[in-house]
Amino acid sequence: MKIQIRYLFALISLAALSYSCMEELPTELEFSGYEFAALDKDAGEWNLILFSNNEEVVISQPSAVGSPGLNQELQDAKAKIAKATSSQKEAVNYWTNNPLLRWNEIALELATKYNLIPAPNADGSYPAPDPAKPDQYPLFPYSHPPYTSRMLAYLSVAQYDGLIMAWHYKEKYGRPAPYELDSQIKSAYEANGLNSYPSDGAVVAVTSRDILTAMFPLEKEFLAKMADEHLESLILAGINVNSDVEAGKLIGNQVAKKALARAATDGMKNAQTNKVKSDSIKNAAITRFGWSWENMETPQRPVGLTPLFGKVKMWNVPTVEEVRPIAPPAPGSAEFNKDAEELKRFANNMTTEQRRVANFWNDGLNSYTPPGHWNRFAKETAVKYKLSPVRTARVFAYMNMAIVDAGISCWDAKYYYHYPRPIQSIPGFKTILGTPNFPAYTSGHSTFSGAAAEVLSHFFPAEASQYKKWAAEAAMSRIYGGIHYRFDAEIGLSQGKKVATYSVIRAIKDGAETF
């Protein structure tokens, strides 16, 4: 009996111990509102991306300090703040004074949610997402890396142009924030002296909501709910009154419209072709080079992913041909054999570190993709350097333009050269990563990463060695994973870097670097 009691005691103790070890896992970037390193008061004069004039969206002159209209707005704000519920206060903490970072995070989450490849039908054919019927399986969109890279570029460019205009009017009208006009109102964030008309937060909320709703139509209600919560938080945080928010919404709305008008005609809707077109692209490669890529899945997917993404309108590169890389070595050539042998060697002697690198950078289906991975790095860096919203937007706009341009250039190379994957060219070859449904040369991961690292290195020179290391690691990860040859990765890296140079040159001349 004694033994039995001891045994039971031991059981209970162990069970209690094990429950005390549970931890809460992070579902967002952990940061709170912060004091900006600089207010960037001249940002209203920086070059716009989509617009040519910082007053192209017109907002009315705000009511003056001391006017009955503004005083009433301050009273209304105070009443709302006094009645704020705990969930509203949580929202104020969540959105922070650099809410673009939260919207970018939402964009990455939606990219992940919609990044699922269609399953075959029972008869062996494959269905495709239909933008006209987004809720029918497979859901629209299939947020693969090209889709996500383009989505992020529109989001970031619209946020940036909207914020430049907001900064212009903030400086022009010079209306102080509510917490400066009324001592009873406290700013929920660092009181930074930024003028409040129009609300930069409202610009970000509305541009983000509208761009993301167009990109993820099934998320319309979710995005509207998030935007409403964000807009409400601006007044509850003590940093805006209602007219600030309304003016910001107007800018956001107009900027998003202009961005979406470009998106409607950028060629993306033709990127996924039918089989006839796809076969003609393949046959052109066979004529040109004597080889072609085949999808190796069962049943075989009849068309690769977005064969004409390479024809989508670029942001900063005049023609895709001028950044097209040199031809890869022919399958069976000595140069090819050397890199194919390397793949077999890695597969047969995979180290723990190589496996870790392959998986860390996999960013495949059901993930935010490599463009998302670099957006995550950019967010962390923006917080580290305490960038103002407009300077944060600038980093994202130039980086995401470079990333999507790199993707377009990469896809141009992929379908121009139509190069077989290792599982096609090396008999019996097995991999630890799934092989994507598009040709090998050049590596998308490498091209995206080469471009992102180049732009971020320009903006954050002290971090450049880290970015370059990451990009090189992302490129190597595909070799370890068995889905790319070394030449795909190395040439992809330099291709991405070259494409990004166009964005960097534009950034250097945009008026933001004269300090």
Partner 1 sequence: MNLKLKFLSLLLVGMGISILTTAQTPLDGLMMPKGDICVAVVYEDANWDKYWEGTYLRTNQNVGTFNRKMVMPMIVGGITDKINLIVSLPYVKTSASGGQLAGVEGLQDFSISLKAQLVEHTAGKGKLKVFSNLSFSTPASNYLADYLPFSLGFGANELGLRAIGLYELDKGPYFRISGAYLHRGATQAERDFYYEDDAFYTSTMDVPDALHAQASLGSWFFQKKLRVEASLTSFRCVSGSDIRAYNSPQPTNKVDFDRLEGFAQYYFNNVKGLGVLAYYNHMFSGRNMGQFSGYGLGLTYQFNAF
Task: List contacts with partner 1 (CB under 8 A).
Answer: 3-4, 7-8, 10-11, 14-15, 18-19, 21-23, 25-29, 105, 108-109, 112-113, 116-119, 137-138, 296-299, 347, 352, 355-356, 358-360, 362-363, 365-368, 373, 376, 423, 429-432, 434-435, 482
* CB-side neighbour CA atoms (13 Å) of 193: 6
Query: Minimum distance from CB of 368 to partner 1 (Å)?
Result: 6
Q: Residue 458: enclosing H or E segment and its boundaries?
A: helix 444-459
Query: Minimum distance from CB of 476 to partner 1 (Å)?
Result: 14
**Cβ proximity to partner 1, 4 vs 287, nearer residue:** 4
Query: Minimum distance from CB of 481 to partner 1 (Å)?
Result: 10
**Cβ proximity to partner 1, 256 vs 358, nearer residue:** 358
Distance of CA 433 to the CA centre of its chain: 23
- Distance CA(444)–CA(415), nearest Å, equals 12
Query: Minimum distance from CB of 67 to partner 1 (Å)?
Result: 45
Query: Minimum distance from CB of 484 to partner 1 (Å)?
Result: 14
- Distance CA(505)–CA(498), nearest Å, equals 11
Q: Residue 339: enclosing H or E segment and its boundaries?
A: helix 334-348
- Distance CA(285)–CA(111), nearest Å, equals 32
**Cβ proximity to partner 1, 106 vs 320, nearer residue:** 106
**Cβ proximity to partner 1, 120 vs 217, nearer residue:** 120
**Cβ proximity to partner 1, 111 vs 153, nearer residue:** 111
Sign of CA dihedral 240, 188, 92, 252: positive
Contact yes or no for 389/167 (Cβ under 8 A): no
Contact yes or no for 367/113 (Cβ under 8 A): no
**Cβ proximity to partner 1, 302 vs 461, nearer residue:** 302
* CB-side neighbour CA atoms (13 Å) of 452: 33
**Cβ proximity to partner 1, 95 vs 197, nearer residue:** 95
Query: Minimum distance from CB of 498 to partner 1 (Å)?
Result: 28
* Residue 443, burial from CB neighbour count under 10 angstroms (0-12, 13-18, 19+): buried
Query: Minimum distance from CB of 374 to partner 1 (Å)?
Result: 12
Contact yes or no for 164/170 (Cβ under 8 A): no
Q: Residue 277: enclosing H or E segment and its boundaries?
A: helix 275-289
Query: Minimum distance from CB of 333 to partner 1 (Å)?
Result: 23
**Cβ proximity to partner 1, 51 vs 114, nearer residue:** 114
Residue 155 DSSP SS3: helix
Query: Minimum distance from CB of 119 to partner 1 (Å)?
Result: 4
**Cβ proximity to partner 1, 408 vs 423, nearer residue:** 423
Q: Which of the 8 DSSP states describes residue 57?
A: S
Distance of CA 464 to the CA centre of its chain: 20
The pair of structure tokens assigned to 428 is: 């019996």
Residue 137 DSSP SS3: coil
Closest CA to 145 of 377, 356, 449: 449
